Structure 1
């Protein structure tokens, strides 16, 4: 089972059987908590204009995301897992546009099966995929994409998941959490001069939850869509 880790958001990788895109701080932590709050599905878009176009067509959509980590004017939600947990989103469809995770996912649509995760759902996702791979009757090629180009947060999560898929669990949760917290991506959340970055977000980003679903990208429609896939 060849498993390769890639880092960055703008790569066009060769086709794989399975690709997992990771964004710990914060896009796919937000997505995970959005589903836990009752969101139905999440549409992925590359640009702000595309998000507004969809909103004009369907005013019931909820726009969520960031540009360089900052809220987008006109969007109902930013990219904060702490905020999504207090938002009234049950039954809603989100439109998500982010700098790293969404972009990397949109560049990974050539995968046969495409999943996204943060650390909060990493073990659930990796354990599920390992079962699928073990049951396959052929060799599966797996790509794990740490979407932040330089962030050790996503890379630590990728290495953690790779260990689970390979059955060796060489990293434990505490090591991953430590690397996430100490990554340069997390620094601004501890910086009092940057209050726009909510320090509470990191509590959600480093809390691993027992889950009943993985987040799979449905590529059959015009707009790639994250859906809950119950396991």
Structure 2
């Protein structure tokens, strides 16, 4: 088993059998909460224009995401896990566009198995991959999608140690690094009203859910699907 951590949303890494893309603050924490609230699937698109086109062709779809962290006018949801956790989404289809996590994921579609996660579902994702894929020698890429955020990188190191059965970093240390990352700083600034501390508090909670988020890479438009953990 060869595991490599990469950082950033742009493609600079070698193809892997398994790729895990991380966006803690906030895209894949949002996705995790959306599935917990009943969403059936989440399409991933690179541009706002693609999202609106899908909405035009499928008026029932719900748009979620941001541009440079800011909400998009005309989207039903911003990139807030706290906000989406308040919604009832049973059976809904979401179209997600974000600056880092979604873009990084779209650069990894040549991976045989592609998963996405935040810290909230990191342990479940790593444990699932160990059970489902570790019978053979595998090359695994872990992508911390924020170009410089220690929130994603700490989560990547946490997943790596679970896959390798080492204990170099505790969940509490990951939580501390997320809270003290420069990415989280603006969420605790009362003057920066576009960002709320509740989002980061959602992002640092490990949740014991019974599913992982796997990307259907052969779909015409890539989409995250909920895969039940046995």
Q: Normalised by the shorter chain, which TM-score bucket? A: over 0.9
TM-fit CA distance, 1:219: 1.3
Distance 2:71 2:46 in 1: 16
1:44 aligns with 2:47: no
Q: Residue by residue, what CA displacement relative to the aligned partner does 1:28-58 show, whole Å, maximum 9, x if unpaired?
A: 0000000000000000000000000000000
- Report deviation, 1:130: 1.4
Distance of 2:13 and 2:183 partners within structure 1: 24
Structure 1: 4+ residue segments shifted above 6 A: none
Match of 1:56 in 2: 56
Matches within 5 A, 1:18-167: 18-136=18-136, 139-167=137-165
Specify the SS of the correspondent of 1:105: helix
Q: CA deviation at 1:90?
A: 1.6
Q: Distance in 1 between matches of 2:14 and 2:4?
A: 11
Q: Which runs of 5+ in 2 are unaligned?
A: none
Q: Give the Cα separation in 2 of the matches to 1:53 and 1:81.
A: 24
Which stretch shifts more, 203-212 or 28-37?
Answer: 203-212
Alpha-carbon RMSD: 0.8
1:169 CA displacement = 2.5
**TM value normalised by structure 2:** 0.98
Render the CA deviation track for 1:110-156: whole Å, top value 9, x for unaligned.
Answer: 101000000000000001111233323xx100000000000000000
Q: Residues 120 and 209 of structure 1 are in contact (CA less than 8 Å); yes or no, is this contact kept in structure 2? A: yes
Which of 198, 203, 210 aligns to 2:208? It is 210
Find the aligned partners of 2:228 and 2:157 in 1 and give their Cα distance: 24
- Residue 114 of structure 1 aligns to a residue whose secondary structure is strand
Distance in 2 of aligned mates of 1:20 and 1:162: 10
CA distance in 1, matches of 2:12, 2:218: 19
Segments of 5+ residues of structure 1 without an aligned counterpart are: none
Q: Contact 2:6–2:13 at 8 Å: present in 1 too?
A: no
